[in-house]
Amino acid sequence: MKNIVLIIMLNILLLPSASARDSIEAYSLDDALSQQKARQVLGGQVAFYFGEQPHGQVLTNFGEFKSNKKTNAFNKSDKQACEWVFLSAMISLQKRAIKEGGNAVINIKSNYKSHLTSSNESFQCGAGTFVAGVALVGTVVKIEQ
């Protein structure tokens, strides 16, 4: 009987934390990409074009690639965590472009939980109590510069 009471009390205490938060929001590409860390890490070796942003003529198409990154969101604002994990996803696309021999990633879209969202101004991020995530998909190409 004592064990049953203990189990019930633990369930009552832990129940509020069991319902995990998963807020999906749009965040500004300009805000995220203008951060000093983003400018340092992404440099200018690979150009990035989101949604339908115009770009140079495609000389070689290396295919479409995905990046799905998560980060610890504990004790960070959703915006801080989302901009950090977005940078991680961008680094992943950049590395893939370099590996394939491309100089650009075009038609970059958010693909959070397999829900494709195309925007020239924002990216989607899912933020929970402990984890934030960004999933991107883009086409690695060599463009005329």
The residue that leads in pLDDT, 82 or 17, is 82
Q: In the numeric block, which tokens belong to residue 134? A: 């960004």
Q: How do the domains of the chain map onto residue ranges?
A: 20-143
**CATH superfamily, domain at 20-143:** Hypothetical protein apc22750. Chain B (3.30.110.70)
Average pLDDT over residues 100-129: 96
Mean pLDDT throughout 73-82? 94
- pLDDT (average), residues 88-102: 98
Distance CA 41, CA 44 (A): 9
Task: Provide the residue type at 38 as one letter.
Answer: A
The lowest-confidence range among 11-15, 105-109, 119-123, 124-128 is: 11-15
**pLDDT class for 22, splitting at 50, 70, 90?**
confident
Q: pLDDT-derived band of residue 21, with 50, 70 and 90 as boundaries?
A: confident
Q: What is the pLDDT of residue 109?
A: 98
The CA-atom distances, in angstroms, between 96 and each of 3, 37, 67 are 54, 20, 9
